[in-house]
Structure 1
Amino acid sequence: MGNQIEDVPDISAEWYREVTGLALHTPAWVRDAAAVATDAVPAILFAFLVFGWWRARRGDDRMMALALLAPVAVVTAYLASEGVKSVLRLRRPCWDMTDVVTVAHCPPYGDWSLPSNHATFAAAAAVGLVALWRGAAAVVAPVIALLEAFSRVFVGAHYPHDVVAGLLFGGLIAPVVLLAMRSPATALVSAMRRRPALAVLVATGRPPVLPRGR
Structure 2
Amino acid sequence: METDPEFGGTSRRLLIAVASLVLGVGVFLWLSPGGLGDGEPVWVVGGASVDGYQSITEWVADTPSWFGHSLEIATEGTLVLLGLILLWVWWTALRAGNAARAAGAIVVGFGMLAAYGLSETLKVLIEEERPCRAVPGANALAECPPVGDWSFPSNHSTLAVALGVGLAVLLPRLAAVTLPLAALGALLRVAVGVHYPHDVLAGATLGAAVVTAVLVLLGPPAVRPTATVFRRWLGHQPGSGGQHRRGGPVPPPPPRQDLVAPGAEGAHQPAGDARFGQPFGEAGQQQPVPGGAQVGGQPHALGGQPGDHPRRDHG
The two structures have a TM-score, normalised by structure 1, of: 0.89
Cα deviation for residue 198 of structure 1 reads 8.2
Distance 1:35 1:143, change over 3 A: same
> Residue type matched to 1:116 in 2?
S
CA contact (8 A) 1:19 1:154 kept: yes
Aligned to 2:64: 27
Distance 1:122 1:110, change over 3 A: same
- Aligned pair partner of 1:183 in 203, 220, 225: 220
Aligned to 1:4: 43
Is 2:166 the partner of 1:128? yes
Is 2:233 the partner of 1:196? yes
The two structures have a TM-score, normalised by structure 2, of: 0.61
CA distance in 2, matches of 1:119, 1:75: 13
CA distance in 2, matches of 1:50, 1:198: 23
Alignment deviations for residues 72-121 of structure 1 (CA, whole Å, 9 cap, x no partner):
11111111111110111111101112411211000111111111111111
CA contact (8 A) 1:78 1:117 kept: yes
CA distance in 2, matches of 1:16, 1:34: 15
- Aligned pair partner of 1:115 in 153, 159, 162: 153
Aligned to 2:183: 146
Alignment deviations for residues 117-168 of structure 1 (CA, whole Å, 9 cap, x no partner):
1111111000222134311x21221111111111110000100000011111
Is 2:103 the partner of 1:65? yes
CA contact (8 A) 1:3 1:90 kept: yes
- Structure having greater relative contact order (Cα 8 Å, sep ≥ 6): 1
CA contact (8 A) 1:74 1:125 kept: yes
> Residue type matched to 1:25 in 2?
D
Distance 1:198 1:144, change over 3 A: farther
Aligned to 2:16: none
Aligned to 1:105: 143
Cα deviation for residue 16 of structure 1 reads 0.6
> Residue type matched to 1:186 in 2?
V
Structure 2: gaps spanning 5 or more residues: 1-39, 238-255, 260-278, 280-295, 301-305, 309-315
CA contact (8 A) 1:49 1:128 kept: no
CA contact (8 A) 1:119 1:145 kept: yes
CA distance in 2, matches of 1:120, 1:109: 21
The more displaced of 30-39 and 179-188 is 179-188
> Residue type matched to 1:92 in 2?
R
CA distance in 2, matches of 1:153, 1:130: 24
Aligned to 1:173: 210
Aligned to 2:76: 39
Aligned to 2:133: 95
Is 2:119 the partner of 1:84? no
> Residue type matched to 1:56 in 2?
A
The more displaced of 33-42 and 126-135 is 126-135
Distance 1:198 1:46, change over 3 A: farther
Distance 1:67 1:5, change over 3 A: closer
Structure 1: gaps spanning 5 or more residues: none
Alignment deviations for residues 31-52 of structure 1 (CA, whole Å, 9 cap, x no partner):
0100111122111111110111
The more displaced of 155-164 and 58-67 is 58-67
CA contact (8 A) 2:153 2:199 kept: yes
CA contact (8 A) 2:99 2:227 kept: yes
